[in-house]
Amino acid sequence: MSWLSRVRNALSLVVPTAKETPDNLWHKCKGCGQLVFTKELADHLHVCPHCDHHERIGPKQRFGQIFDDGRYTLLLPPRVAEDPLKFRDTKRYAERIKAARAATGESDALLNARGMIGGRKAVVGVQDFAFMGGS
């Protein structure tokens, strides 16, 4: 064993290893580039406390913000034809929809929910931009 290996092994016993931090502890703002605690960003309703940039959130998070106590019931979308125009681009529309459903876990770009807002009954629709740009 070389002297360098002995020194390296001795140092590894003395110098503590870095603690691992969770990947989602910090969020880099797309507006100003500042690092913000993920919890702080959530407390500010996903608006950067430094530059007021609004981060993109999903429909379920939006429903949680809008409805009283974050309680709501999702409404099922009506059944419609998958591709009535038989639209074709570089990729078939049906394939694009299938990929968007797999990526988001939702069946449609628009989610509707029923709940209470300010003590009044309300129905709210929110588009999911992650689902093919909300289309």
| 60-80 average pLDDT score | 93
User: What total number of domains does the chain contain?
Assistant: 2
Asked which of 36, 55, 74 is the last residue of a domain, the reply is: 55
Whether residue 19 has pLDDT greater than 70: no
Q: In terms of domains, do 100 and 110 share one? A: yes
- The Cα–Cα gap between 112 and 63 comes to 9
74 & 109 share domain: yes
Question: How high is the pLDDT of residue 18?
Answer: 61
Domain boundary among 55, 73, 89: 55
Domain match, 48 and 74 both: no
**pLDDT above 70 as % of the chain:** 90
Nearest residue to 97 (alpha-carbon basis) of 111, 81, 82: 82
pLDDT digits 0-9 by tens, 89-126: 888 888 888 898 899 888 888 999 999 999 999 999 99
pLDDT at residue 14 tops 70: no
Q: Is the pLDDT of residue 54 over 90?
A: yes
Please tell me the predicted confidence (pLDDT) of residue 125.
Answer: 96
Find the mean pLDDT for residues 36-58: 94
Distance, in Å, from the CA atom of 130 to the CA atom of 99, rounded to the nearest integer, reads 11
Same domain, 97 and 121: yes
Which residue range is the domain that position 78 belongs to? 57-135
Q: Quick one: 1 and 46 in the same domain?
A: yes
9/67 same-domain check: no
Predicted structure pTM score:
0.70
